[in-house]
């Protein structure tokens, strides 16, 4: 189980382990039932060639979309590193169309509405799970736990909880299949339910087994 | 025949402007008038009592600055249909929104306490105990928002705006020397001592507060003013900036013509109302006190509403005066808590009002630069504003206004924290 906070702003390294840029965002394909991550939106520090295109002078801070299948390793995400499978010269650049959304730009911080257009909260993060070599978006993080995570307060709160022998804080997740429609231009995501309580799944972060709860809820 | 036809078509065109304007008018005039709250009235009273007519020219600058900043908030509200906190969250993320909301809550709570203090002080001038005036005012403003629709609340607030005329009458009752006022406005006589500078900075610094941008944009979003009607909202905003400074002008001349001449120093608006009695008569003093109570009641409603709007928008909760309690529970709970805490602090503690106001001024001063810069970035972002982004000429005026306001606000904080800094 991953969150976009684990991936956005991580370092992009080549197969030799050298830093070549950073990951700015993820692009998902909403035409499929469960949105798959298609590309990473990366900013390359410096390059003289991308695919077939040669630059007369090395391009600096250039933003490109790198297909997810050209990512070789995702294992080092905790060290904030993502490794490219191919040489930067072999990157096949992607392009955006109306079916594709940028997670950071179009989903994070957007308002969640119920079916009667009543505001319920905002998206604090999204939950991604690994499905073979694919990364699939399964839910939206909401509520206090999501805010604490985004503000970086989760660790001190966790320590206080342990000291006070309180229960582990659980993440509030809305499974993606409860999303009725999303309106990127209005920054709104509309749910099928009346209240978030109707659709929420509570999970422990960083536990892959827990992610099954979201999938299970999704299959109901 | 043609002359008569032209005459009637001119009359008709006036009406085609007035009727839609009357439908739109409200957000600009209400927001600007609430700016003349208990703290604002205290500042203008001190200006008049300490420096006579010397600082009246500042009101011209304040009117322009207020009109420029509030126009941007109004335009964003009309174009996006969203409040400022919602736009900040969607465009700048959770961290900046969270910290901005925390500072806004602290600043607005301190301000709300000051408003209830104004109601208490105004009531006591008429012999009404604060243990009656404060709970009654708190209950009235609470029930109005909880039970009223947006239109109803707007009408009540517009009625409260009319009561500010008491300051105009109070000022006129002191028989102002118009020739001298005009002379000192056009050719200001400066006294470059430290206190003069501090009072001048405080006058400008207290005029533009973050709650104003949040409040005006939110009520425009709730009122759903359409882009085609923006010209009316723009006029509403400009009239509001003008009227609020007309009221400030008369507060200054009321105190300048009486307290300044008699050499009486004051520290608050209620001091001014009391001191006016032997100098301008009981009616002028009474009107001044009524104005103070009115300002306190109006602001003790608007500041909690502004906070509830901003926090709810920032965190995505439903926020609208027109919703039922069960549809927007967090919005109404926040509003209720603000009123209860504000009233209880005045009723059950012996907190120093001057310290509360200084604290609120400092918190506002910390937040204002951030909010104004974010507003300018949003107003220049075509993804947010489309073709309604700031025009290059307006941008120059807006940036100059914002930078000057930020510098003055920071100077105000410095003088609050280190009173002898400019000595």
Structure tokens at B224: 């759903």
Residue of chain A nearest B314, judged by CA positions: A122
Q: Which of B98, B316, B323 sits opposite A151 (nearest CB)?
A: B98
ipTM: 0.85
Residue B96 lies in a domain: yes
Does any domain span residue B298? yes
> Regarding beta strands A111-113 and A188-191, do their DSSP bridges make them parallel or antiparallel, or are they unpaired?
parallel
Instruction: Tell me the nearest-neighbour CA distance from B107 into chain A, angstroms.
Output: 22
- Closest to B315 (Cβ–Cβ): which among A122, A151, A187? A122
Interchain CB distance below 8 Å, A151 and B95: yes
Any domain includes B238: yes
Looking at CA atoms only, how far is residue B88 from chain A in angstroms?
10
Single pTM value for the model: 0.88
Is there a domain that residue B4 lies in? no
- B159 close contact with A: CB closer than 8 A: no
DSSP A52-111: TEEEEEEEEEEEEEEEGGGEEE-GGGGGTEEEESS-GGG-------TTEEEIIIIITTPE
Model confidence pLDDT, tens digit, residues A118-166: 888 899 999 888 877 788 888 888 888 888 888 887 777 778 777 776 7
| Residue B75 pLDDT | 96
Whole-angstrom distance, CA of residue B202 vs CA of residue B39: 10
Find, among B304, B310, B331, B314, the residue nearest to B95 by Cα: B314
Interface of A with B in 103-162 (CB under 8 A): 108-112, 118-122, 124, 147, 150-151
Of the partner residues A111, A119, A124, the one whose CB lies closest to the CB of residue B94: A124
Contact A44, A62 (CB under 8 A): yes
Which of A25, A104, A107, A109 would best serve as a mutation to test chain B binding (most B beta carbons within 10 A)? A109
Is residue B317 in some structural domain?
yes
CATH number at residue B217: 1.20.1740.10
Spell out which residues of chain B touch residue A108, defining contact as CB-CB under 8 Å.
93
Tell me, yes or no, whether B266 lies in a domain. Answer: yes
Q: Does B89 touch chain A (CB under 8 A)?
A: yes
- What residues of chain B lie within 8 A of the CB of A150, using their CB? 93-95
- Any CB–CB contact under 8 A between B90 and chain A? yes
Q: What pLDDT does A219 receive?
A: 46
Q: Tell if the CB–CB gap between B98 and A147 is shorter than 8 Å.
A: yes
Give me the residue from B93, B98, B319 closest to A119, CB to CB. B319
What is the Cα–Cα distance from B169 to B47, expressed in whole angstroms?
19
User: Which residues of chain A are within 8 Å of residue B95 when distances are taken between CB atoms?
Assistant: 150-151
Measured distance CA(B295)–CA(A139) in Å, rounded: 48
User: B315: domain range?
Assistant: 29-417
| Residue B305, number of CB atoms within 10 A of its CB | 27
Residue B131: the pLDDT is 92
Of A182, A216, A146, nearest to A28 by C-alpha is A182
Place of tokens 């966790």: A158
Strand spans (E) along chain A: 2-3, 11-13, 19-29, 36-50, 53-67, 71-73, 81-84, 100-102, 111-113, 119-122, 125-131, 134-142, 171-175, 179-183, 188-191, 201-203
DSSP 3-state of B414: helix
Chain B segment 303-342 residues within 8 A of A by beta carbon are 312, 315-319, 323, 327-328
Sign of the CA dihedral with B304 first, then B309, B315, and B320 last: positive
Do A135 and A129 touch, CB atoms closer than 8 A?
yes
List of residues 6+ apart from A64 with CB closer than 8 A: A41, A42, A44, A50, A91, A93
User: What is the number of structural domains in chain B?
Assistant: 1
- Spatial distance between the Cα atoms of B214 and B86, rounded to a whole number of angstroms: 10
SS3 B391: coil
CA distance A121 to chain B (A): 4
The CA distance from A203 to A169, in Å, is 9
Whether residue B422 is contained in a domain is answered as no
Mean pLDDT of all residues in chain A? 79
Nearest residue of B to residue A122, measured between CA atoms: B316
| Closest CA of chain A from B83, distance in Å | 12
Å from B413 to nearest chain A CA? 28
Q: What helix, strand, coil percent values describe chain B, rounded to 5?
A: 80, 0, 20
What residue ranges of chain B have pLDDT lower than 50? none
Closest chain A residue to the Cα of B311, Cα to Cα: A121
Task: Classify residue B17: in a domain, yes or no.
Answer: no
Nearest Cα to Cα of residue A14 among A64, A98, A54, A70 = A70
Q: Is B174 helix (H, G, I), strand (E, B) or coil?
A: coil
Higher pLDDT, B69 or A55: B69
pLDDT given at position B330: 93
Quick one: pLDDT at residue A194? 67
Closest partner residue to B318 among A109, A118, A187, by Cβ? A118
Rounded Cα–Cα distance for residues A112 and A196 (Å): 9
CB contact under 8 Å between B315 and A120, yes or no, is: no
Asked if the C-beta of A42 comes within 8 angstroms of chain B's C-beta atoms, the answer is: no
Rounded to an integer, the average pLDDT of A206-218 is 65
A 158-197 residues with CB below 8 A of B?
Answer: 187
Mean pLDDT across A30-45: 85
d(CA B392, CA A185): 26
- The tens digit of pLDDT for each residue in A184-200 reads 777 888 888 666 667 77
- Cβ contacts (< 8 Å) between B312 and chain A: which residues? 119
């Amino acid at each position: 189980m991953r969150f976009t906070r684990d991936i956005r702003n991580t370092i992009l390294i080549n197969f030799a382990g050298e830093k070549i840029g950073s990951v700015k965002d993820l692009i998902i394909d909403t035409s499929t039932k469960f949105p798959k991550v298609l590309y990473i939106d990366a900013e390359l520090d410096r390059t003289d060639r991308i695919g077939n295109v040669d630059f007369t002078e090395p391009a600096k801070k250039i933003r490109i979309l790198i297909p997810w299948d050209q990512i070789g390793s995702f294992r080092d995400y905790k060290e904030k590193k993502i490794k490219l499978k191919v040489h930067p010269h072999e990157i096949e650049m992607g392009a955006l169309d109306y079916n594709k959304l940028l997670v950071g730009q179009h989903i994070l911080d957007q308002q969640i509405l119920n079916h009667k257009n009543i505001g319920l909260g905002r998206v604090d993060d999204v939950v991604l799970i690994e499905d073979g070599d694919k990364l699939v978006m399964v839910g939206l993080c909401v509520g206090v736990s999501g805010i604490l995570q985004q503000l970086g307060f989760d660790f001190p709160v966790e320590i206080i909880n342990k000291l006070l022998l309180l229960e582990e804080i659980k993440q509030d997740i809305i499974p993606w299949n409860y999303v009725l429609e999303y309106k990127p231009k209005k920054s709104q995501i509309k749910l099928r339910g009346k209240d978030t309580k109707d659709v929420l799944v509570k999970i422990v972060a960083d536990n892959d087994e827990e992610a099954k709860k979201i999938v299970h809820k999704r299959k109901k | 025949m043609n002359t008569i036809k032209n005459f009637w078509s001119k009359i008709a065109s006036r009406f085609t402007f007035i009727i839609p304007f009357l439908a739109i008018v409200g957000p600009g005039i209400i927001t600007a008038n609430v700016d003349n709250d208990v703290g604002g009235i205290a500042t203008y009273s001190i200006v008049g009592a300490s420096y006579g007519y010397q600082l009246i020219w500042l009101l011209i600058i304040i009117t322009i600055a207020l009109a420029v900043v509030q126009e941007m908030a109004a335009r964003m509200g009309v174009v996006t249909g969203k409040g400022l906190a919602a736009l900040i969250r969607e465009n700048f993320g959770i961290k900046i929104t969270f910290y901005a909301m925390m500072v806004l809550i602290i600043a607005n709570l301190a301000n709300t306490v000051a408003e209830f203090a104004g109601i208490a002080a105004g009531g006591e001038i008429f012999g009404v105990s604060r243990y009656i005036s404060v709970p009654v005012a708190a209950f009235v403003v609470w029930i109005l928002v909880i039970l009223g629709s947006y239109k109803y609340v707007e009408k009540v607030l517009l009625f409260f705006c009319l009561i500010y005329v008491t300051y105009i009458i109070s000022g006129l009752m002191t028989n102002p020397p118009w020739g001298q006022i005009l002379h000192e406005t056009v050719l200001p006589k400066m006294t470059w001592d430290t206190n003069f500078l501090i009072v001048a900075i405080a006058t400008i610094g207290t005029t533009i507060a973050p709650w104003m941008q949040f409040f005006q944009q939110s009520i425009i979003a709730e009122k759903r003013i359409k882009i085609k009607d923006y010209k009316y909202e723009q006029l509403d905003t400009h009239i509001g900036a003008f009227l609020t400074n007309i009221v400030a002008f008369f507060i200054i001349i009321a105190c300048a013509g009486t307290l300044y001449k008699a050499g009486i120093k004051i520290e608050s608006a209620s001091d001014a109302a009391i001191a006016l009695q032997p100098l301008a008569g009981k009616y002028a003093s009474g009107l001044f006190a009524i104005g103070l109570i009115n300002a306190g009641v109006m602001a003790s409603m608007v500041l909690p509403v502004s906070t509830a709007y901003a926090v709810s928008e920032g965190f995505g909760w439903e926020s609208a005066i027109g919703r039922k309690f069960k549809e927007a529970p967090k919005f109404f709970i926040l509003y209720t808590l603000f009123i209860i805490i504000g009233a209880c602090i005045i009723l059950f503690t012996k907190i120093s009002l001057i310290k509360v106001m200084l604290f609120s001024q400092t918190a506002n001063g910390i937040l204002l630069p951030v909010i104004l810069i974010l507003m300018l970035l949003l107003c220049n972002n075509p993804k947010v504003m489309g073709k309604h982004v700031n025009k290059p000429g307006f941008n120059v005026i807006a940036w100059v206004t914002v930078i000057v306001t930020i510098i003055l606000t920071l100077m105000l904080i410095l003088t609050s924290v280190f009173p002898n800094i400019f000595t």
